[in-house]
Structure 1
Amino acid sequence: MLTPPNEDTVYSIIKALGREIWSSSPTPAGLLVALSTDGTSVVAAALRSSGYTVTKVASNTVMVGGVDHLVLLEAQIAALQTERDRLMAARLETEAVR
């Protein structure tokens, strides 16, 4: 189940990357965002890492869909598993030295 995009959150992510928004329009498919300059790859990656679905529409335009909570949860689980593995390896290394 997707949750519609939150405009304020989308805008703050884009602005945190130092990008300016030329225009945006809510549509039935999501939030259509035109950036002031070309290049949407970094913006799309940042929005995806926040759980949003993103489709490149043009060189400076993306369609931001809803948040896929399952995908976001799976990413959080993967990050936790990686951290657990790192801690377990450190513990085993410490025990081997004793």
Structure 2
Amino acid sequence: MKRKRKKYPEELAIKAATEYVTTDVTIRDLQNKYGFKGVGTLYGWIKKYDLDIADEEAIKIRNIMLEEKEKSPREDKLEKEIETLKKQLEQEKIKVKAYKKMIEIAER
């Protein structure tokens, strides 16, 4: 029986691989931090994203790309506010229906 391979988000893979080749962090620390299992997983990412300790320029570019994908605290706050407003809107729509029904009943 074949084992299922777990898929990891690309952002996680790039972060972990980049962190490994640019810092003194251990593989075990990265496994604990990012939640991947095998050493081969990390080495696969390093190969896949063509990371090399000597290739600092490529690493900087990938880090910039990752930062652009991450949401700022302001974006997170605005998204939460939008969700709150959507819920409030739905509640108001329900109230409007209820008021219309009450008026309809009162006019009978």
Fold shared, TM-score > 0.5 on shorter chain: no
Normalization by structure 2: what TM-score? 0.36
Higher share of residues assigned strand: 1
Higher share of residues assigned helix: 2
Query: Computing the radius of gyration over CA atoms, which structure comes out larger, 1 or 2?
Result: 2
Normalization by structure 1: what TM-score? 0.39
